[in-house]
Structure 1
C-alpha cells in the first residue's frame, strides 16, 4: 500500500527528478565524484536506481523493493564496492525524500495532520530500512558463497592429484604443511583413490622444507588410509632435515610406503 497522497507524490517526484538528483548529490558529496566510475566498474546507475527506490517506497511496492534489494546486494558485492559507501548513498536518498515531501507540502500549502505525518514517517523509513536490510543480507550471502568457492578452489590447488597412467597418480606437495592442510590432503586423497581407482600414489615432498611432528604423524595416517584402500604409496624428494626429524621421532616410512630419491626416478620406474 502506497503513501496517503501516492499519485500526487509520484507526479511531483517525477516532474522534479533532475532537481531531486542534484539535491541528492549535494547530500552525498563523497558519492558525486564516483557516479561515472561505478557505472563503468559495475554497470550500476546510481541515479536511476535512486529514482527506482523512491518510487517503490512511495508506492508501497514491498515485494519489488525486496527483489531490488537482493539484486543491488549482489551487484555491489560482485564488484567489491563497500557497504559503507552504499549506506551513505541510501541515507542521502532518505534525507532527500523527506526534503522533497516537505517542499511538496509547502508548495501546495498543506497542513499535515499529526496522524498523517507519523503514518508517512513510519512507511517511508520502514521501507528504506527494509531495503537496507535486504541489501546487506544479499551482499553478505554473496560474499560468503564467494569465500566458500574460493576456499574450495584453494583446497583443490593445494592437493593437486595428477593422473600419470590409468592406475598411477602423483601428488606434488609444495609450501607449508599444517594440520588443516593435511586434513584436507587426507580427505581428498581417500576420495580420489576411490573415484580414480588409484593403485599407486606417488607423493612428492621435494617442495616441503620442513614439517612439524604432528604433521608427520598425520601424513603417516594418510598413507595408512591409502594402504587400507588398496593403494600403494611412494614417497619421493625427502629432504635431509625432514628425514632427521622423522628418525628422531622413531618413525619410518619403510613399512607403509616405498621411498625414492626423486620424482623423476619414481616416474621412470612406473612409466617403463
Structure 2
C-alpha cells in the first residue's frame, strides 16, 4: 500500500471520520436504519469506519476475519447491504474531495485514487459475498422449513388422517404432497385420508390435476381419499374448467368430511347429554 496514502489517512483520521459520519447519516435515514437507537447507529457506523481505516494495512487473514465479524453483526441487525456499499462509496468520495481541497497535483491525486480503489474494492467484494452467502443460507433453511410444514399428514382417529393444505400449490409442493401422502398413509395404516383445501386460495387446472393425482395415488395403495373444503367459488371454478371429480368423494367442510370418514370405517359421531347433578 502507498505509504503516502497511509500517512495521510492516519494523520487526518479524525477529520475524515467526522465527514464520513455526517454523510452516513443520510444513508441511515433513507434505509430506515434510524429505527434503531441513535447511539447504536453511531456506534456501528464508527466501528464501520474504523474497520475501513484499520483495513488499510492489515494482513489478508486479519482483514478477512474483521470483515466477516462485522458483516455478521450487520446482517443480524437486519441492515441492508446498501448501508455497506453506499457507505464505502461515500468514503471513497470523501477521500477524493479531501485531496482536492489540499491542491495536490493531478498525477499525485491519480496515484492515490488508484491506491484507494485497490484498497476499497476488495472490501466491497468481501462484504457483498458475505451478505450473499448469508442470505442464500437463510433462504435455503427457510425453504426447507416451509417444505417440512407445507404438507403435514395428521392422524385424527384410528385409521383416519388429514392433510390440511394452506397457500398456493406449485409443482415442487405438489411433489411434496404426493410423497407425504403415500409415506403417511402407510406409516399410519390409514384407511381414509382427507385432503383439506379450505386454505388453498386458487384452484386452477394445474392445482386440480395435482390433487387428483394425489388422490389416485392414495387409492392405489388401498386407502380411500376425500377432498374437503370445496367452497362455492372453487366448485364453480372446477365446473367452468371442466374438471371431472365424479370419481372422488368431495365434501364442502372438514366436519362433513370427518363424519363421512367415520362412516366409512363403521363409526359415527354421537351426541351425549350430561345430566346436571344437583346436591
> Which of 133, 139, 147 is the matching residue for 1:141?
133
Partner of residue 19 from structure 1, selected from 15, 36, 57: 15
- Is residue 35–residue 46 contact of structure 1 (8 Å, CA) maintained in 2? no
Aligned twin of 2:151: 159
The question of whether the paired residues in 1 share the 8 Å contact of 2:20 and 2:91 is answered with: yes
Look up the SS of the partner of 1:164 in the other structure. Answer: strand
Counterpart contact for 2:226–2:257, Cα < 8 Å: no
Per-residue Cα deviation, 1:166-206 (whole angstroms, up to 9, x for no partner): 65321123455565653442244345456x44524221234
* Larger RCO, structures 1/2 (Cα 8 Å, 6+ apart): 1
Task: Tell whether the 8 Å contact from 2:164 to 2:195 is kept in structure 1 after alignment.
Answer: yes
* Alignment check: 8 A CA contact 1:176 1:210 kept: yes
Aligned residues: 257
**TM-score, structure 2 as length reference:** 0.67
Shift of 1:243: 5.5
TM-aligned CA distance change 1:225 to 1:93, over 3 Å: same
- CA drift of 1:16 comes to 5.0
Specify whether residues 264 and 197 from structure 1 end up closer, same or farther in structure 2 by C-alpha distance, changes over 3 A only: closer
| 1:168 pairs with 2:175 | no
Counterpart position of 1:216:
208
CA pair 129-175 structure 1, distance change in 2 beyond 3 A: closer
For 2:58 and 2:98, the matched residues in 1 are separated by 18
**CA offsets 1:46-78 (integer angstroms, 9 cap, x no match):** 112211221111x14223323333344444444
Alignment RMSD (CA, Å): 4.4
C-alpha displacement at 1:40, in angstroms? 6.5
CA distance in 1, matches of 2:35, 2:228: 56
**Range with bigger deviation, 63-72 or 245-254:** 245-254
Contact 2:84 2:127 in 1 (8 A): no
Q: 1:231 offset after TM fit, Å?
A: 4.2
Could you report, residue by residue, the CA deviation over 1:95-130 in whole angstroms, capped at 9, with x for unpaired residues? 445667899999xxxx9x96x983x54443223101
Q: 1:70 matched to which residue of 2?
A: 68
SS at 1:201 equivalent: strand
Kept in 2, the 8 Å contact 1:25–1:31? The answer is no
TM-score relative to the length of structure 1? 0.68
Q: Distance in 1 between matches of 2:2 and 2:92?
A: 15
